[in-house]
Amino acid sequence: MLKDDKFRALLYITAFILAIGTFFYHSVEGWGWLDSLYFSVITLTTVGYGDFTPKTNIGKFFTIVYIFIGLGILVGFVTPIGEYIVDRRLEKVQKREQKTET
Amino acid sequence: MLKDDKFRALLYITAFILAIGTFFYHSVEGWGWLDSLYFSVITLTTVGYGDFTPKTNIGKFFTIVYIFIGLGILVGFVTPIGEYIVDRRLEKVQKREQKTET
Amino acid sequence: MLKDDKFRALLYITAFILAIGTFFYHSVEGWGWLDSLYFSVITLTTVGYGDFTPKTNIGKFFTIVYIFIGLGILVGFVTPIGEYIVDRRLEKVQKREQKTET
Amino acid sequence: MLKDDKFRALLYITAFILAIGTFFYHSVEGWGWLDSLYFSVITLTTVGYGDFTPKTNIGKFFTIVYIFIGLGILVGFVTPIGEYIVDRRLEKVQKREQKTET
Ligand SMILES: [K+]
Ligand SMILES: [K+]
């Protein structure tokens, strides 16, 4: 229950912070909506391709603050997704093994 | 035993998710097979050189979802490999020390 | 209390290490002040866009050492910020749920 | 004691894995020694600027394997360095506070 609550909180905040980034980069750097969302995700997950980078001073300053605030949130959001998929797979393998043992 | 099971599950899912990415980028972005695999690994380990980046809208959208799903898995896959190598080395050093003490 | 102390220590060291990087890249690579700070943050959070990269040998060597020393610090600084925001949101959601249950 | 042993093991393996990468990229991609070391560090710490990237097929394949093996090691090497610096600072702050309290 608590874990579901935490993931829902993470989902909510992730959506919120990506919306802010998308809106900011669209307005200030003049990129398209998808490009601005794409850049926000690429930045806060620390992938950082560099195909889009802020050219204005406000954009660079915002990006510094955006990373400080958002990086921990996106790492926190992405980690349980991976764990969930691995745990699912693990359960499946272990059930099969139990069957073979009996 | 459980740890081996977990690593095998991680290996399986990692291979699966890299296969999906390789196939997608080969088909949609038109990159070669090795380049598509290389890009998938560079992306999901968050290295993100930027020598290859998605140019199509579908490619950008897929990459966002791909990172959300795959990043935690690849981090989970890479971490125990490093730990295993370090633990091996640590055992070797500690055995040598025990010998010197006796 | 101890947690506040730790965050204050992290804030202090983060500011200090970013100041060193900013000063170094401004002096050695000849970038503007904001660009030098921006590059230091982009590097130590491992985003690494590549819009700025060291061109001199001293700059490359410094960057290697800078990452070894600073990466753990910035990851340590950014993580609790994300956790704080998520915990705040979680509290809010759980309080609302308790009200609905009564 | 054990912690020191672990860090020494990490230092040893990190030096070893960086030497392998440096030698490989120097030989196969034809980069200078410092550039090859710089690229190895930038890759395994996941910064990934993209100012250097492998151009040959062998180079791309090696980089995939290199990341799988080395990423966990370098993250394991860099993390305790950051923790050590933060703990040092924390001790200093707490000692000063104790003095003020008395
Ligand atoms: K990166
Ligand atoms: K990058």
Identify the residue whose tokens are 């406000």.
A58
What's the pLDDT at D98?
81
- Domain residue spans of chain B: 2-101
C50–D50: do the CB atoms touch at under 8 Å?
yes
What's the pLDDT at D39?
98
Calpha distance C101→C94 (Å, rounded): 11
A72 contacts on C by Cβ (under 8 Å): 78-83, 85
pLDDT at residue B21 greater than cutoff 70: yes
Query: pLDDT tens, B59-101?
Result: 999 999 999 999 999 999 999 999 999 999 888 888 887 887 7
Scanning every residue of chain C, which has its alpha carbon at the shortest distance from the alpha carbon of D96?
A: C5
Buried b (16+ CB within 10 A) or exposed e, D37-68: bbbbbbbbbbbbbbbbbbeeeebbebbbebbb
What's the pLDDT at C97?
78
Task: Tell whether D49 is within 8 A of chain A (Cβ).
Answer: yes
What's the pLDDT at C1?
47
D90–C48: do the CB atoms touch at under 8 Å?
no
Q: Mean pLDDT, to the nearest integer, of D1-20? A: 88
pLDDT at residue D4 greater than cutoff 60: yes
What's the pLDDT at C100?
77
Q: Mean pLDDT, to the nearest integer, of D19-37? A: 98
Task: Tell whether B9 is within 8 A of chain A (Cβ).
Answer: yes
Calpha distance D69→C1 (Å, rounded): 40
Q: Which of A95-99, B95-99, D55-59 has the highest mean pLDDT?
A: D55-59
Gap from CA of D60 to ligand 1 centroid (Å): 17
Gap from CA of A45 to ligand 1 centroid (Å): 8
Calpha distance D31→D35 (Å, rounded): 6
Averaged pLDDT of chain D = 93
Gap from CA of B64 to ligand 2 centroid (Å): 15
- Of A45, A13, D25, which is closest to residue B74 (Cα–Cα)? A45
The complex's ipTM? 0.94
Q: Say what percent of chain B tops pLDDT 70.
A: 96
Q: If pLDDT is split at 50, 70 and 90, which confidence band does D2 have?
A: low
What's the pLDDT at D69?
97
B6–A50: do the CB atoms touch at under 8 Å?
no
What's the pLDDT at D1?
47
pLDDT at residue D38 greater than cutoff 90: yes
Calpha distance C19→C13 (Å, rounded): 10
Task: Tell whether A5 is within 8 A of chain B (Cβ).
Answer: no
Q: What is the DSSP string of C45-76?
A: TT----SS---SHHHHHHHHHHHHHHHHHHHH
What's the pLDDT at B63?
98
What's the pLDDT at B49?
98
User: Any residues with CB less than 8 A from the CB of B58 and at least 6 apart, and which?
Assistant: B28
Q: Which helix (H) or strand (E) covers residue B81, if one does?
A: helix B57-101
What CATH number matches the domain at D2-101, 1.10.238.10, 3.30.2290.10, 1.10.287.70, 1.10.10.10?
1.10.287.70
A49–D50: do the CB atoms touch at under 8 Å?
yes
Tokens of B46: 């968050």
What's the pLDDT at A1?
47
**Sequential pLDDT tens for chain C (102 residues):** 457 888 999 999 999 999 999 999 999 999 999 999 999 999 999 999 999 999 999 999 999 999 999 999 999 999 999 999 999 988 888 888 788 776
Query: pLDDT tens, A3-51?
Result: 788 899 999 999 999 999 999 999 999 999 999 999 999 999 999 999 9
pLDDT at residue B1 greater than cutoff 50: no
Calpha distance D22→D17 (Å, rounded): 9
Calpha distance B95→D4 (Å, rounded): 15
Q: If pLDDT is split at 50, 70 and 90, which confidence band does A93 have?
A: confident
